[in-house]
Amino acid sequence: HTYERLQVGAITFFVNGLGGSLPYQLSSTLPESQVFFNTTWGAQLVTVTATDITFEFFTWDGAPVDSHTIAKACP
């Protein structure tokens, strides 16, 4: 039960498990980890437009933790 954003080559992965159970306490992260968060509960907002997709993670009380935008790759 954590939030993590990883970049593995050209692929972005999200682990989003802070919806209600107690957060896991981990002692280390993977080298591919870009953002790791396990302080409190939260949720992810995904916004899609004609030109990109944005993934935002917020704590349960609205504090921003992470934001990542991927531009549209095809015409």
Q: What is the pLDDT of residue 60?
A: 94
* 28-70 tens-digit pLDDT: 889 999 999 999 999 999 999 999 999 999 999 999 999 999 9
Q: Dihedral angle at the C-alpha atoms of 27, 31, 37, 38, nearest 10 degrees?
A: -30
pLDDT (0 to 100) of residue 24: 80
